[in-house]
Structure 1
Amino acid sequence: MNVSFWKIFKGDRVIWAVLILLSLLSLLIVYSATGALAYRVASGKTWIYLVRHMGFLVAGFGVMLLMVNVLPVKIYSMAANLMLYFSIALLVLAVGLKFTHIIPGSGRTLPLGPLSFQPAEVAKISLIMYAAKVLGKKQKTKRDLFLAFRGIIIPAGIVCFLISLSDFSTSALLFAAIMTMMFIGRIPLKYMFLVVVAGIGFVALMYFGASIMDEPPARIATIKGRIDRFIHGDPNSSHGITQADYAKLAIYSGGFFGKGPGQSDVSNFMAAAYNDFIFAIIVEEYGLFIGIGVIFLYLIFFFRGVTIVRRANRTFPAFLVVGLTMILVYQAMINIGVSSGTLPVTGQPLPWVSYGGTALLFTAISFGCILSVSYQNQVDHEAVDQPVMIKAPDEDYEIEKSE
């Protein structure tokens, strides 16, 4: 293939390789895991979901290539505030539509013609960009660090609260990423400790409040139910196998080497085999070794993110990569933990692997930001290392002088 074609894949080549490997695995496992869905909804036409998923993967790569080749990193800092306000408006709109029953659903999505998207996906990226901008500007004095903490925690509380009304796990995931950014940004631990205590108190209030209320709000009841099922076991198990039980069965039946591509039995009985529990289906079909390989790919991505942060010459790009890397890694950990039964059941897809639509494009934006910072690092270091040729006076030769 023409070498010039590969030049458009700018930025960290290792991350590009990880994305390509995850994409190939994603196509294989989504084609297999959507079989039951195809028979229920599309008259057995499994290729429909494969083509759709492939289309979103290709579009995602297009988004990343556009970002890394066209958009400068500084534009994300310039747009951070506006994006934050826009995402809050979208979240308020989604919550309003939910409680006014204008459109049916849980309030997680907003219709966009033939497609729909989750405002929480916009809010995740926007809040991380905003936090990176604030942390990047206020690092010199203790007063700056306090102002940075105050400037981040208020909008973070608003965004996470609005998200929690329809998706508590995504809210907690985003908040954990913001806390990680503040920790790395040298925000005093006493401030962060107060936030952690307040967060634990908030969850405890919802849990015990749901026990006292005769008819607690549906979202609070769901949170309490998930905690109870994780601690005491799912009472529905006595009436039949639950989704979590199916996931454990898939991992157990897969063994070390798996049943083979397309040979999953458990996916025929799981409603979220191609999304929230996709890691279990990977292990069932390809075995524990491939499952460990998937975990290893996310670890490689994590360490490459750390490398990009260390090489960054500017504070905003460094904090931006910290936030986006951690939220993607946390999301992968939650999906794997839920599939293996080590975490309470919650709905988090496996980044860049689970079947998805517009959510996959927002994941591509996150990867695109990380790759853009990586490419900017390369440009900055090449500019520093590039010798400048100056001509000596009254001489016919040139002298190399490093900047």
Structure 2
Amino acid sequence: MQHSILKLFKGDRVLWMVLMLLSVLSLLIVYSSTGALAYRVAQGNTLKYLFRQVVFLGTGIGVILLMVNVLPIKLYSKLAWWALLASIGFLLFSIAMRGTSFVSSSGRTLNFWGATFQPAEMAKISLVLFSAKILGKRQKTKGDLWEAFKKIIFYTAIVCGLIFISDFSTSALLFATIMTMMFCGRIPLKYLFSLVGIGIALVVTIYFTADLLPDSIGRVHTIKGRIERFINPPPPEASQGITQADYAKLAIYSGGIIGKGPGHSDVSNYMAAAYNDFIFAIIVEEYGLLGGIAVIMLFLIFFFRGVVIVRRATRTFPAFMVIGLTLVLVFQAMINIGVSSGALPVTGQPLPWISLGGTSLLFTSLAFGLILSVSHQNQQDKEVVEQPIMIKAPDEDYEIENDAVND
């Protein structure tokens, strides 16, 4: 029975180990960091958010097992275009309905009868799938690469532009991922460098003209303010109070080398996003610098296993898909870690698979499921190639292996 259950966990074993370790850490740190939240909104029921996280992680693992054991890789290639259109539709809907009960105050989350949904999370996965499909089909000539570049950039500009209105960090993260995918897809550097130049010029223009733009145009004033506070922190006498970034630095400092121990975080009682955007700081506070390094190592192992899966892929679409999805998750993790440690301006990126569950965690499970599905397909392809062909001699009652016949 136990052996049959283990057989369901197909694909890269190391990647499954990383996923399980991240799951254990997620349960521990979410339970610890949601104590204050539980007393504020759940009448002190500290088990509520732990149970919620167990449900989301269990659902995510169930989704991964379904994808690895049942759904074929070619299905995602067929659905890529329709998923992208649906993502654009949801993003347009969130913009059109902003200010109503259907959209949160930040503009990032849609509310449907008590259920919440972040269109940007769906857009990340769908745009990566679409770009992987285009790059996989157009690799033969320079003309193919030019056509691939034009089509990918057209839809990337639409998706990232719509996300930018309410979420600059996700827009930038997705843009960087698609750029790296095109670099790996042999798109000429002159195209990519020109695009980077345009992107930098656009960001600089928005930064210096933010004060002239109305508040209704996205979060440009918030973005500019965060960048200015990061570059030129206000003096203590001019401070408006302790920010979450300050609390995060305090948590990391107080954690020391070995930390205060599980469940002994003090800073999480004062941080509004201790269980989400700044969860890495709470990990360091409780498990010390060693715990923080361990988390970084898990994501580095995940990155290198993604590279291995890409190198073993026998088809172009799965290879580009794994490149994009691996980069999305690693970039997101590095941004969260950078923000928590004060190395980057404050953004709203959760730590993949560790932060308190929601839309982000479920779409992260889709990304893991796609990567593990490609890994499982690679193993199947290898078995087919290595399987010897048995040929029966016409007058002899024995079989000769393929290698012997060739010799």
Q: Which consecutive unaligned segments of at least 5 residues does structure 2 have?
A: none
Q: Alpha-carbon deviations, 1:233-271, whole Å to 9, x = none? A: 157872321110100000000000100111100000000
Q: Residue in 1 aligned with 2:123? A: 123
Letter in 2 for 1:15: L
What TM-score does the superposition give when structure 2 sets the normalisation length? 0.96
Letter in 1 for 2:288: G
Which shows bigger deviation, 370-379 or 113-122?
A: 113-122
Distance 1:2 1:231 in 2: 55
Q: Alpha-carbon deviations, 1:161-215, whole Å to 9, x = none? A: 0011111100110111100100000100110011101111111111111134576
Letter in 2 for 1:400: E
Letter in 1 for 2:22: L
Whether the 8 Å contact between 1:229 and 1:235 is mirrored in structure 2 is no
Q: Residue in 1 aligned with 2:250? A: 249
Give 3-state SS (helix, strand or coil) of 2:11's partner: coil
The aligned runs of 1:134-149 (5 Å cut-off) are 134-149=134-149
Letter in 2 for 1:350: L
Structure 2 residue 212 is matched with structure 1 residue 206: no
Structure 2 residue 110 is matched with structure 1 residue 106: no
Q: Residue in 2 aligned with 1:269? A: 270
Distance 2:138 2:315 in 1: 13
Root mean square deviation of aligned Cα = 1.6
Give 3-state SS (helix, strand or coil) of 2:390's partner: strand
Q: Residue in 1 aligned with 2:308? A: 307
Q: Alpha-carbon deviations, 1:252-299, whole Å to 9, x = none? A: 000001001111000000000000000000000011001100000000
Q: Residue in 1 aligned with 2:59? A: 59
Whether the 8 Å contact between 1:332 and 1:350 is mirrored in structure 2 is yes
Deviation at 1:226, TM superposition (A): 1.2
Give 3-state SS (helix, strand or coil) of 2:389's partner: strand
Cα 1:214–1:184 change in 2 (3 A) is closer
Q: Residue in 2 aligned with 1:324? A: 325
Distance 1:43 1:99 in 2: 29
Give 3-state SS (helix, strand or coil) of 2:401's partner: strand
Deviation at 1:71, TM superposition (A): 0.4
Cα 1:360–1:394 change in 2 (3 A) is same
Whether the 8 Å contact between 1:145 and 1:186 is mirrored in structure 2 is yes
Distance 2:323 2:401 in 1: 37
Give 3-state SS (helix, strand or coil) of 2:369's partner: helix
Whether the 8 Å contact between 1:210 and 1:216 is mirrored in structure 2 is no
Number of aligned residue pairs: 403
Letter in 2 for 1:161: G
The aligned runs of 1:34-53 (5 Å cut-off) are 34-53=34-53
Percent identity (aligned): 67
Cα 1:100–1:289 change in 2 (3 A) is closer
Q: Which consecutive unaligned segments of at least 5 residues does structure 1 have?
A: none
Q: Residue in 2 aligned with 1:278? A: 279
Which shows bigger deviation, 287-296 or 350-359?
A: 350-359
Cα 1:162–1:4 change in 2 (3 A) is same
Cα 1:216–1:106 change in 2 (3 A) is closer
Whether the 8 Å contact between 1:34 and 1:49 is mirrored in structure 2 is yes
Structure 2 residue 139 is matched with structure 1 residue 165: no
Give 3-state SS (helix, strand or coil) of 1:329's partner: helix
Deviation at 1:332, TM superposition (A): 0.3
Distance 2:214 2:371 in 1: 47
Whether the 8 Å contact between 1:131 and 1:178 is mirrored in structure 2 is yes
Letter in 2 for 1:171: S
Deviation at 1:110, TM superposition (A): 1.4
Distance 1:81 1:288 in 2: 44
Whether the 8 Å contact between 1:8 and 1:65 is mirrored in structure 2 is yes
Whether the 8 Å contact between 1:83 and 1:126 is mirrored in structure 2 is yes
Letter in 2 for 1:367: F
Q: Residue in 2 aligned with 1:81? A: 81
Give 3-state SS (helix, strand or coil) of 2:353's partner: coil
Distance 1:342 1:233 in 2: 13
The aligned runs of 1:344-383 (5 Å cut-off) are 344-383=345-384
Distance 1:23 1:235 in 2: 40
Give 3-state SS (helix, strand or coil) of 1:387's partner: coil
Distance 1:298 1:114 in 2: 33
